[in-house]
Every structure is written in structure tokens, then in C-alpha cells.
Amino acid sequence: MKLDRSRALVLPLALLIGLLAGAGDGLLGICGPFTDVAADVFCPFVLEIFYLGITTGTTSTTYDPASNVSRLQMAAFLSRTVDGALGRGSRRAALDQFWTSQNDSAFGLTTLNTATTPSGMIRSDGADLWVANRGGMVSRVRGSDGKLLETWTGATMGFGVLTAMGRVLVGGGTNPGNLYEIDPSQPAGAVSTVASSLGNSPFEIAFDGSRVWMANIDGTLSIVTPGAAIPWTATTVTSGLSTLRGLLYDGSNIWAANQVPGRLLQLDPAGAVLNTVVVGLNAGFPIFDGANIWVPNSSDDSVSVVRASSGVVLATLTGNGLSSPQVAAFDGQRVLVTNNLTGADRVSLWKAADLTPLGSFSTGAGTKPFGAASDGVHFWIVLAPVNKLARF
Amino acid sequence: MKTLRPSGVLAVVALAGLSLVAGGLGEALGNCGPFTDVAADVFCPFVLEIFYLGITTGTTATTYDPASNVTRLQMAAFLSRTVDGVLKRGSRRAALDQFWTSTNGTILGATTLGGTCRLLKSDGADIWVANTGAGTVNRVRASDGKVLETSTSANLAFGVLVAMGRIFVSGGTNPGSLYGIDPSQPAGAVTILASNVGIGAQGITFDGARIWTANGNGTVSIITPGPSIPWTVTTVTIGLQLNGAVFDGNSVWVTEVASPGKLDKLDANGAVLMSVTAGTTPLHPVFDGSNIWVPGGTSNATVVRASTGAILSILTGNGLENGGTVAAFDGQRVLFTAQNSDLVSIWKAADLSPITNVSLGDIPFGACSDGVYFWVTVQGGGRLLRF
């Protein structure tokens, strides 16, 4: 079996010189560097995957066009295709931002006027970031330059944040819980309470296209149906577990993460449990990457990667700076996880497509990173003890 | 650095009363992830990546059969899953954790503009809406739906084009008009760039150098930007009535009301190179990078391969029963507004399969995408909905 050669294609010196000199493919081969590919309608396709690095040829001058492709070779081609398409198609590529910030001195920092109250979650609306905190304030920060635009008030014990329906919704971690609403097109002021009498101390909130879901610390789920009049209708169902925290929607189902025991629950539209997946201890705030769910497990310093379509645990990631991991975020290519253990002060980064580690990075001493989200260009990280929002 | 801890302990999954066992994960069970027949060599990461991405599931839970050849049928499955996965992960919606599709009209973000809103376009940050009834062009911030500005004096404003750092609007007057807005300046009256466009200008597009309008009197106007106003206009007769215009990277296409309706491919001078049958009163199409989606106006939509002009499919159902008006594309999905009902119809662009149709509670007209949301104008109250 002829295997396509590895990524590192070393061109013969003569060929390299020829390419640098702008030599035409007639001098080098019939189709680009390849002497065994006809200059016909298929040549541009071969050249495209060669120039993109999807294939390196069987030698520096041959492509072996008539041979079949083995499944092993195909894996290489497809893997490189995915990586190339995601890399080129990202907004970071168009903005010429191929770097990964290596330390906290390279971050952009925004000072929030939320004092140093415990952090809540953060979400992007595509342009601005919305940050909740337990002190009742919700900050709006412009993504392009990190400027603090507005601070809304009255979101008592604000924690979870959701941007949906043209609004910003914030979960109030009171007992009973509340759901607050912000109309971002209006001047900043006090939030509106659109639902109350929810489950005890909601953490994360999610949206399924018509209803708002809230995961509550008492193990219940509150399902809120937006309506024309306030209060919005809410139902609260029990999950059978005791300490729900994280929540997400994968395009088909809501999933909830339970702290102890560490479980990830797949829910039906009524909130009934369809599927219980065993994950690590103290499951936190997961993220969906389009195929898999990444669940930070704070007590065993791991991240469980669960295939959403089947509920199968694909891998349990450890190391790479994980130290009381709390919140996961996805930017289209990478998954970032915040580590909240005192003294850890790091975020961990993985390549989402193959689960390989990309390193961990300090956010600065005493910063205890918690909430995290992406706007498609940057990751944004809440550093509550120092009252900052970091752009990674 | 310890990085990947294999799931040596089987992950127990209770699925609808059944127990699933995620066996074979990790080096403890296979040489390469769950696979016992793949060597832990330079190819293993590639195999694992397409496994984690769901592009392959292996031939069994523990085998990949690496030495076998790939049939063209298997290849189709692999490539299809690859395209779907890349588009889904690469979309802005994924980065913003927005995997939902709005399922009813009551939960949509709404901005009230008044008048009669027609076509609209995104400049990447803001939405620009042509308001025929008010003779205005509204600028709405996409992130929060706030009305930022209103430009005036755009009599019978209809189509919108974002190009050259400007906003261009077709005016369905007699003769037709081309209006311009410099978005870096405070809003005021639009600039009339040309006032001798074909009668009833509607659809508007750009080919990289010139602006094209499809006109209600069956002509196409080709407008060449210049340093002074008015800009030069060349008008070519195509048929009796034109509606939409779209540029596919190579050619301009226009929709022509005829019996049956047509999608006409034009050369650089506006001459018809090819006509493709499309509905009865085809309106405002969209190009998805490969294919042109043409709302047929009555009860269907036609999908045409731009490179050949071949009709790939005539779509029916999924809310198209009452006719389509305007098509929009967000990178993954195509949305049609309906002509005679309150529905929008949503399709997966990659395989032409229906996704859903949603009632808005009011008859929609124009539609566009900013890459995150679809934006739809509805006729009642001059509203702009974020879908």
C-alpha cells in the first residue's frame, strides 16, 4: 500500500528553486509538480489539495492518480481538509490574527465597575459582551475595542447570561429564582424581571428556539416560555439529581450538567431525562462544539468529551493546566476552559477537532478566571477578583 | 505533560432505559483511540480527528479497517459529513453558542421602522432596510436591533446593495433611480447617483466594477461608478418584467417574469447567455456559493447550478405552498419568505433538505443574513424581525 507522505513535504532543492523562480509547471511536471497527472480538467483539483496541504503527493513529483485511496489515506485527507477549511474560514484568519496570546501581559483588559463581587457568566451578542455578576450588575463591553459601554442594574444574584430573541436574559440565583430581561436597544437602566418563582438558585441558562431553560441548584429545571405579557409562563421539573449547574442546547436537545454526582443529562422537550452520561466529579459549565460536548469536571481536574449524537464519552482529558476547571467556551476551532483553583489562575486550550492540547496560559496571579465565551474572534474571560474582563 | 487520559473505564450511558457502553476508548483498549487495527503511528491523529468529528464511526466500535479502499459511496458519506461539520463549526453561530432555530414568530426580536419595508442587506455590523412606503433607508444595529439612522429622500426605495464602502438603493421610480449613502457620514438625504435607470428598478447587485439593477419594465441597467454625478447608465432590454438580480462571482443573473418564468444568465454587456425555467413569477434569488435559489413566486422554488445552469431541484412544500418572494443564505441555510402567507421556509443549503417553516404572524417580504441571524421585513407595521 502506498501511503501519502506525511505533512512535512521536503521539496527537492531543484524543484524549490524552480518554484521560487516562478517556473511554470511545464518545466516541472504536467500538472504543477506532478509528472503523472494530466493537464486536464482534474488537474486544478489536484493542485488545489496540493497547495492547501491536503495531499503531499506520493513523491515530490508524483501523485499516483490512478490508485485507489485507502481508508487510512482518506483519514489524512479529510482531517487536513477540516483543519484547513476551519483555519481559513475563521474570522481570525480574515483579521490576520493567527496567534494565541501566551500570557496575561498580552491580554486586552477591561475594568468592570462591578467591584469584586463573585463572577457570573458571559455571552457575546456578536458585537458586545454581556457579563453578569452576583452583585446585581450586568456589564456591556464592546468586542472590537473592549470599551465598557453600559452597566445595567437590578439583576440580583445575576449569574447565567443568554443572548437570544434580540434580548439579553440573565438568571437570578435567588431562592426562588428569577429571570431578568434587558432590551439592548434601550439606554441602560434597571433590568426587567420577566419570570419569578423559579427553581432555587438558577445557574446557567439556555434557549431551544422557543423557550428559555434554567438549571437550578436544587436539581430542578425551569422552562420559561416568553410571551407578550409579563410574567412569562414557567414550569419547573425535577431531574432526579440534586445540583444542576451547566446547561446547553445542541440543536436537538437541552443538556444539563449535574455537580454531584457528575452527570450530563440529555433532556426531552418536557425536561424528562432521556440519557444520563457519567462524567467527572463536580461537573461544571459545558460547551457544544457542533459535534461534541465538553464538560469541565472541577473536582478531578478533567474534561469529559461526550458525543452529543450518542452520549458516548469519547475521551477524558487531563493535564494541560486543568486545575478545578469550571467553564468551557468554543470559538469555532478551539475549546478554552477556565481553571478556578486559587493559585492556578490559568486557562487551558485544546484543538476541538482532535482533542489535542494547545497549552495552558496564565491569566495573572490572583485572577481566578471563571466565566468565558467567544465572539468568534477572541475568547473573553471574567477575572472577578481583580474586577477585569480579559480578551484572550 | 499528561494530556489525554484514555477512557479506560467504560462510560456507562443509560439511554431511554437501555445501557450503552462506550467501549474501546483509549490506549487501554486500542492502539489508536478505540481502534485495535490502526497503528499508533503518524496516521493515528488523522483517524482520531475524523472519529471525534463524527466523520467516521469505524467499521465496528473497535475497528477502522485502515487498509481497505474507499468506495465512491463511502466517499460520498465521508465528504458530506466533512462539509456539514466544517460549516457548522465554522459558522459564527457556533462560536456564539447559538445552535437553535427560532420556532415561532412570537419570540423573534422585532424592530419597528414604519412604512413598507422591502429588501435589506447587512454590511457586517448593521442592517440597511429599503422602506418603499416612507421613502427612507433605515440603518439598524444587528447586535441589538436598535435603529441607528434613517436616510431620507429615497423615493420608492426597493433593493439594497452594500459595496464599495457605500450603501446603494434602487428606486422603483419612472424612470428608475440609484441612490447612494455614505455610511461614515451622518444620515440625511440620500444622494441621487443616477436618475435614468430602467423603470421600476428592484433587484440590485454588483460585479466588482459596476452596479446592475433588474427593472420592472424588463430591462437591466448597468451603472458605472465614476468621480462625478450622475454616473453612467447603460440599459438593455431583456424581457417584459424583471425582478431580482444576483452575481455568482462570474456572471450576473436576473429573474424574468414570463410564461414560464426564467432565470437569465447575462454576459458582461447584459446580453442573455442562457435562460433557465424557474417558477412562474420568479422574484429575488440568492447564490449560496454553488447554486442559485430562485423563489418561484407561486408554489415552488428552483435550485440552479450556477456553473452549468442545470436545474438541480424544484422545491415544494415546507411552507412554499403559497409562493416564495425573497431568498437569503446564512452560510448553512437558505430562507425563503412567502408571498401569500405568514411563513418563512428554511432549507439546508448543502443537501436541499427542508429544515422547518415558521409562522411569523404577518406576511414577510425581504430577507437577508448577517452570518448570525436572518433578518426579515414584514409588511404589517413596517417591522424588521431577527430570526
B175 contact partners, CB below 8 Å, separation of at least 6 = B195, B196, B197, B198, B199
Q: Is the pLDDT of residue A6 over 60?
A: no
Please indicate, yes or no, whether residues A317 and A274 belong to a single structural domain of this protein: yes
Please indicate, yes or no, whether residues A108 and A149 belong to a single structural domain of this protein: yes
Closest CA to B150 of B173, B177, B181, B172: B181
B2 contacts on A by Cβ (under 8 Å): 318-320
Closest CA to A219 of A234, A202, A197, A205: A202
Instruction: Tell me what pLDDT residue B116 has.
Output: 94
B104 contacts on A by Cβ (under 8 Å): 210
User: Could you tell me if A83 and A356 are in contact, meaning their C-beta atoms sit under 8 angstroms apart?
Assistant: no
Instruction: Tell me what pLDDT residue B29 has.
Output: 60
Of all residues in chain A, the percent with pLDDT exceeding 70 is: 93
Cell numbers representing residue A181 in the block: 430581561
| Confidence band for A18, pLDDT divided at 50, 70 and 90 | very low
Interface with chain A: mutation pick from B9, B71, B93, B100, highest number of A CBs within 10 Å: B100
Instruction: Tell me what pLDDT residue A245 has.
Output: 95
pLDDT in tens, A271-322: 999 999 999 999 999 999 999 999 999 999 999 999 999 999 999 999 999 9
pLDDT in tens, A233-245: 999 999 888 899 9
Q: Is the pLDDT of residue A3 over 50?
A: no
Q: Is the pLDDT of residue A32 over 60?
A: yes
Instruction: Tell me what pLDDT residue A225 has.
Output: 97
DSSP B381: G
- Nearest CA distance, A183 vs chain B (angstrom): 8
Among chain A residues, the shortest Cα distance to B126 is held by A127
Please indicate, yes or no, whether residues A283 and A211 belong to a single structural domain of this protein: yes
Please indicate, yes or no, whether residues A169 and A222 belong to a single structural domain of this protein: yes
Please indicate, yes or no, whether residues A263 and A285 belong to a single structural domain of this protein: yes
Domains: count for chain A: 2
Does residue A5 lie in a domain region?
no
| Mean pLDDT of all residues belonging to chain A | 91
Does residue A6 lie in a domain region?
no
Q: Do A375 and B95 touch (CB under 8 A)?
A: yes
User: Could you tell me if B332 and B373 are in contact, meaning their C-beta atoms sit under 8 angstroms apart?
Assistant: no
Give the N- to C-terminal CA distance of chain B in Å, as an integer. 45
Instruction: Profile chain B (387 residues) by mean pLDDT over runs of 10 residues.
Output: 34 31 40 95 96 96 96 92 95 95 87 95 96 96 96 98 96 98 96 98 97 98 96 97 96 96 98 96 96 93 96 95 92 93 95 94 95 92 92
Cell numbers representing residue B237 in the block: 432590454
Please indicate, yes or no, whether residues A85 and A163 belong to a single structural domain of this protein: no
Does residue A307 lie in a domain region?
yes
Please indicate, yes or no, whether residues A35 and A136 belong to a single structural domain of this protein: no
Please indicate, yes or no, whether residues A124 and A36 belong to a single structural domain of this protein: no
How remote is the C-alpha of B157 from its chain's centroid? 22
Closest CA to A182 of A158, A203, A200, A216: A158
Q: What is the pTM of this model?
A: 0.88
A93 touches chain B (CB under 8 A): no
A153 contact partners, CB below 8 Å, separation of at least 6 = A136, A137, A138, A189, A190, A191
Q: Do A82 and B1 touch (CB under 8 A)?
A: no
User: Could you tell me if B100 and A207 are in contact, meaning their C-beta atoms sit under 8 angstroms apart?
Assistant: yes
State which of A65, A94, A123 marks the end of a domain. A94
Does residue A310 lie in a domain region?
yes
Please indicate, yes or no, whether residues A207 and A165 belong to a single structural domain of this protein: yes
HEC secondary structure over B187-208: CCECEEEEEEECCCEEEEEECC
Cross-chain CB nearest to B12 (options A86, A278, A318): A278
User: What is the domain range of residue A76?
Assistant: 13-94
At A129, which CATH number? 2.130.10.10
pLDDT in tens, A102-161: 888 889 999 998 777 878 899 999 999 999 999 999 999 999 999 999 999 999 999 999
| Helices A71-89 and B44-52: angle between axes, nearest 10 degrees | 60
State which of A94, A113, A131 marks the end of a domain. A94
Please indicate, yes or no, whether residues A249 and A354 belong to a single structural domain of this protein: yes
Domains of chain B: 11-95 (no CATH), 105-386 (2.130.10.10)
Does residue A2 lie in a domain region?
no
HEC secondary structure over A42-110: CHHHHHHHHHCCCCCCCCCCCCCCCCCCEHHHHHHHHHHHHHHHHHHHCHHHHCCCCCCCCCHHHCEEE
Instruction: Tell me what pLDDT residue A322 has.
Output: 98
Instruction: Tell me what pLDDT residue B379 has.
Output: 85
pLDDT in tens, A148-165: 999 999 999 999 999 999
List phi, psi (to 5°) of A50: -75, -50
Does residue A49 lie in a domain region?
yes
Q: Is the pLDDT of residue A26 over 90?
A: no
A316 touches chain B (CB under 8 A): yes
User: What average pLDDT does range A176-190 have in this prediction?
Assistant: 97
Instruction: Tell me what pLDDT residue B339 has.
Output: 81
Please indicate, yes or no, whether residues A17 and A114 belong to a single structural domain of this protein: no
- Nearest CA distance, B308 vs chain A (angstrom): 15
Does residue A99 lie in a domain region?
no
Interface with chain A: mutation pick from B2, B3, B72, B102, highest number of A CBs within 10 Å: B3
Q: Do B103 and A274 touch (CB under 8 A)?
A: no
| Half-sphere exposure (Cβ direction) of B8: Cα atoms closer than 13 Å | 4
Closest CA to B160 of B179, B143, B182: B179
Please indicate, yes or no, whether residues A354 and A302 belong to a single structural domain of this protein: yes
Interface with chain B: mutation pick from A3, A72, A230, A248, highest number of B CBs within 10 Å: A72
State which of A94, A122, A149 marks the end of a domain. A94
Does residue A370 lie in a domain region?
yes
User: Could you tell me if A354 and B44 are in contact, meaning their C-beta atoms sit under 8 angstroms apart?
Assistant: no
